[in-house]
Amino acid sequence: MLLVVGLGNPGARHVANRHNIGFMAVEAIARRHDIAPWRRRFHGVAVEGAIGAERVLLLLPGTFMNESGRAVGEAANFYKLAPGEIVVFHDEVDLPPSKLRVKTGGGVAGHNGLRSITAHVGNDYRRVRIGIGKPEVKELVPHHVLGDFAKSDRAWVAALCEIVADNAELLAKGQDSSFQNKVHLAMQAKGFGEPGEPLPSAD
């Protein structure tokens, strides 16, 4: 079993927030792979299904971002999962908008959702970091992440979520570098990114 977590805040007022792109990506995976219906479980909503030959539990914590670890920890304990069997999709201010990187472990870089998860399950889970950019003034970061995506962002957000869903089987198989590169090339093909931009290396 692989636990695939999307980070975000529950409620209608947060649906289009930059901070909720983790929710958006995991919801796209559920749609693409016909994984339904969502049910209230583990302090959020969850659904079991398959991505290719891999069994997965998709989870959207309902605890608000700062307490995400409560939901992730409960689900991980229930299924007796090791940190390496957990994949977390989250927003990343230190990456440019539309860029995606996959890494295992590392710091939390001020992300309260990651800090909470690390406190509950340890640090060695896999992270899919989705770039949302950041303002030049550090004090504006909270307003930035809790603000809605601009109208000009919507095309890349939709494209990235669909491309992530298309290639999720690679992630489920543990082929993180291949997944990252496929997403990178597909985004370039759709006009997001510079032609000839080098393939990213997995962190």
Domain at 41, CATH number: 3.40.50.1470
Instruction: Give 69-112 pLDDT, tens digit per residue.
Output: 999 999 999 999 999 999 999 999 999 999 999 999 988 878 99
Q: Please state the rounded mean pLDDT for residues 27-53.
A: 97
The domain in which residue 36 lies consists of: 2-189
Per the domain annotation, does 203 fall within a domain?
A: no
In a domain, 183, yes or no: yes
Look at residue 67 in the predicted model and tell me its pLDDT.
96
Question: 79 burial class (0-12, 13-18, 19+ CB within 10 angstroms)?
Answer: middle
Flag whether 201 is in a domain. no
Tell me, yes or no, whether 30 lies in a domain: yes
111 is catalytic: no
Identify whether 194 is part of a domain: no
Contacts of 21 (CB under 8 A, 6+ apart): 8, 89, 90, 91, 130, 132, 157, 161
Domain count, the chain: 1
Predicted confidence at residue 88, as pLDDT, reads 98
Catalytic residue among 19, 43, 111, 184: 19
In a domain, 151, yes or no: yes
Q: How many CA atoms lie within 13 A of 164 on its CB side?
A: 29
Residue 197 included in any domain: no
Write down the pTM of the prediction. 0.94
Q: Which of 127, 29, 30 is nearest to 72 (CA)?
A: 127
CB-based contact 147:21 (threshold 8 Å): no
Residue 107, burial from CB neighbour count under 10 angstroms (0-12, 13-18, 19+): exposed
